[in-house]
Structure 1
Amino acid sequence: MKHILLLLITFIFSTVAIAQHKDHHEKIKTLKVAYITENLNLSPAEAQGFWPIYNQFQDSYSTLRKAVSNYRKNIDVANISESEAKAIISKIADLYEERYAAYKQYMTDLQTVLPAKKVILLKKVEEDFKQKMFEEYKNRHGKTSK
């Protein structure tokens, strides 16, 4: 009975933690959308064309990044053969090529809905947002920047 109760409590806490993580992730995503929209000064027409392209790229790029990460962390280097290692290297290289092709297509697609200057500015705005989030994280966790 104690095991079942312990398992149930663990499950409930895990579910709550996952829900809070998803909620936190959605909140950050909402802040990022607002930050990009404001700092790129997107017109309604630009925003309507931009966000589907942006979101599709983010999803596909994230999937490819996770695939590379999964290959790397699931390697038991001590117990794989040289040929298996070469096959893994080849697969990871292929995934990086897919990421690069996706990025090139993303840049092409963005230029159909935004002026080139805004496409260039987008990277800076994204980096600025990341920096602000990092600073906010440090401030909330009592760490000061030098």
Structure 2
Amino acid sequence: MKILKILPLLIVFISLNAVAQDGQFIRKKKEQIKALKVAFITDELSLTSDEAAKFWPLFNAFEDKQQEIKTQKLKGYLRRMDDNSFDKLSEKDAATMLTQMESTEDELYQLKKKFVTSLKVVISPVKILKLKKAEENFNRKLLQQYRDRKLGK
């Protein structure tokens, strides 16, 4: 009889433990990816120690703010689009949502412009362009590794 009372608690505890471990795993993977990205960009840009000391705080602040905007706003829109009620969205609600999405995209664009302006004081325009290329190459390689792993190559 006591086991029947304890069993649901045990199941809940095990489930919560599994979720926590999954969250830690995801957090570790994100940290590993970030470390690889830092190494990749550092290598691609050939930053001097003075440039690196000024560049990385700017870059990290930009990445954090960009992620915050995407998490708070864009993912909210996407969740609403995936919802079953999306097919029943009125034209007025769709127009409002579209305006909000455009505003968020503009906010991201303005953030990027501000970032590039602040980078011009720290690194050369050539290195800023190399940064853009390095980020694209890193993302492409990361996606390719994911695909290869998923396909078992």
Give the AA of the match of 2:123.
L
- The counterpart of 1:87, out of the listed 77, 96, 118, is 96
Deviation string for 1:36-94 (max 9, x for gaps)? 11111000111111111111111111222221221232253344433222221111111
CA distance in 2, matches of 1:131, 1:137: 10
User: How many pairs are equivalent?
Assistant: 144
CA distance in 2, matches of 1:44, 1:133: 27
Residue pairs, 1:1-146, within 5 angstroms: 1-66=6-71, 67-75=73-81, 76-144=85-153
TM-score, with structure 1 as normaliser: 0.89
Q: Which has the higher helix share?
A: 2
- Of stretches 30-39 and 65-74 in structure 1, the one that deviates more from structure 2 is 65-74
Structure 1: segments with no counterpart, 5+ residues: none
The share of aligned pairs that are identical, in percent, is 28
Over aligned residues, Cα RMSD in angstroms? 1.6
Q: Larger Rg: 1 or 2?
A: 2
CA distance in 1, matches of 2:152, 2:63: 30
Runs of 4+ in 1 over 4 A off after TM superposition: none
Give the AA of the match of 2:144.
E
Query: With CA pairs under 8 Å and 6+ residues apart, which has the higher RCO, 1 or 2?
Result: 2
- Of stretches 133-142 and 12-21 in structure 1, the one that deviates more from structure 2 is 133-142
TM-score, with structure 2 as normaliser: 0.85
